[in-house]
Amino acid sequence: MTDRIDRRVVVTGAGMVTAVGNDVPTTWEALVAGRSGTATVQAFEATEDFPCRVAAEVTDFVESDVVDAKDARRYDRTSHFGISAAIEAIRMAGLEPGRLPDPDRFGVIFGSGIGGIATFEREHQKMLDRGPNRVSPFFIPFFIPDITAGLISIHTGARGPNYATVSACASSAHAIGDAFRAIQRGDTDRCIAGGCEATITPMTFAGFSAMKAMTTRNDEPEKASRPFDAGRDGFVMGEGSGAVVLEELEAAQARGATILAEVVGYGVTGDAYHITSPPPEHEGAQRAMREAMRDAGIGPDDVDYINAHGTSTPINDEHETIAVKKVLGDRAYDIVVGSTKSMTGHILGAAGAIEAVICAQVMRTGTIPPTINFETPDPACDLNYAHEGAIERDVRVTLSNSFGFGGHNVCLAMRRWDGD
């Protein structure tokens, strides 16, 4: 075994479920083409009482394609997404559920910002309508945010470290970062890491709308998410999951795995400022990016692409732009700072993992997806956001930003795998 300190960690598998595709190839094709996954809400009757009536919903997803019919009926939608992405990642890594190598050294760290909210709303209404004795015995197990990590372990046989990260929209970025650290220091050799979210429900829409956080651009759903555009007015809620298989480098090489990328840095900070708003110039984000770069041993000139948090909210996009410029200096104007949330919507606790997979794809293919729906320049957002379409560019190092309510900031640094 290699030294227990600073072991190298690589990505050998990836999985995604998004509004533009139920796997990595389909999602990637749609992102490069600049296709929006946003439409009028279908999950519930979003009447005019709801200020926001659009969402980026997953379509054509069949739960029984992933688990058996009994489990398909019981599990919350968020867990179905998580299990699907995890199994895709495992198979892309050349492994099979139930036949994992050294399963006691194979962990699952999987986050969710909210958990099984649809289950909560359904069972709460059942109690109000029919009394407490009619509440399902599966209510608690399938509502709690950690259950998807447990279910992935059950469905794959991974018996190493197993837990959930819950830090709002930074949840799955924390999961990948924690898995990176666990492997790096020798606590485990392999890990399924990521996150899932399925929050397109009346209560979540009502809550986020009450905060004035969501778009009210209901007449043109596909154009509602417009990060860094002067006309942005709030985020579009998405749903889905992202997952990666991380392995210690020598363990991956020993079994002949195809390496997709290397995780090289993890920056994590807290704002200590406000429950929902970033501090001036997104100081916490600056520290997270600097820490990820310090951890990776890279400087501003090494960074080629940033997958921004880029939520399409007036405050985030301006302050994230300032933070990037503070950290990278003049280099900020030479790179692309894109937001794929313009197409997938904001998938809350799953966003960071999905965007980490996108970073790996960018480095592998040399293609940067566009940030769609640009119409009006914002003088405060003056970087290259790939507003004119996909960009072909050699990308060796990426950063991925994720920020959550409560002041949680994560930056993941990844490097292209060139065989060394």
Q: Are residues 147 and 35 in the same domain?
A: yes
286 and 170 belong to one structural domain = no
Same domain, 231 and 282: no
Rounded Cα distance between 256 and 336, Å, is: 33
Residue 80 inside a domain? The answer is yes
Residue 336 pLDDT exceeds 50: yes
- Say whether both 239 and 273 belong to one domain: no
Q: What is the pLDDT of residues 34-57, one digit of tens each?
A: 999 999 999 999 999 999 999 999
Domain carrying residue 313: 266-415
pLDDT digit string (tens) for 207-249?
Answer: 999 999 999 999 999 999 999 999 999 999 999 999 999 999 9
pLDDT tens-digit profile of 357-416? 999 999 999 999 999 999 999 999 999 999 999 999 999 999 999 999 999 999 999 999
Work out the average pLDDT over 331-355. 98
Q: Tell me how far CA of residue 257 lies from CA of 95, 187, 249, 252, in angstroms.
A: 9, 21, 10, 5
Q: Are residues 189 and 103 in the same domain?
A: yes
Task: Determine, yes or no, domain membership for 260.
Answer: no
Residue 259 forms part of a structural domain? no
Share of the chain above pLDDT 90, in %: 96
Q: CATH number of the domain at 299, please.
A: 3.40.47.10
Does the structure show a pLDDT above 60 at 148? yes
User: What pLDDT is attached to residue 166?
Assistant: 98
Does 273 share its domain with 405? yes
pLDDT exceeds 90 at position 5: no
Whether residues 180 and 132 share a domain: the answer is: yes
pLDDT beyond 60 at 32? yes
Contact predicate 297/264, CB 8 Å: yes
At residue 398, the pLDDT reads 98
Q: Total structural domains in the chain?
A: 2
- Whether residue 3 has pLDDT greater than 70: no
Q: Which of 254, 285, 317 is the last residue of a domain?
A: 254
280: helix, strand or coil: helix
339 in the same domain as 223? no
Residues 228 and 330 placed together within one structural domain of the fold: no
Q: Which of 219, 254, 289 is the last residue of a domain?
A: 254
Per-residue model confidence (pLDDT) at position 6? 84
From the list 349, 378, 392, 362, the residue with the least C-alpha distance to 173 is 349
Residue 4 has pLDDT above 60, yes or no: no
Residues 54 and 171 in one domain: yes
One domain, residues 228 and 308: no
Separation CA 287–CA 387 (nearest Å): 27
Average pLDDT rounded to a whole number, residues 312-337 = 98
Instruction: Reply yes or no on whether the pLDDT at 420 is more than 90.
Output: no
Question: Annotated active-site positions, please?
Answer: 169, 309, 346
**Percent of the chain topping pLDDT 70:** 99
186 torsion bin: left (phi>0), alpha (psi -120 to 50), beta (else): left
- Do 362 and 388 belong together in one domain? yes
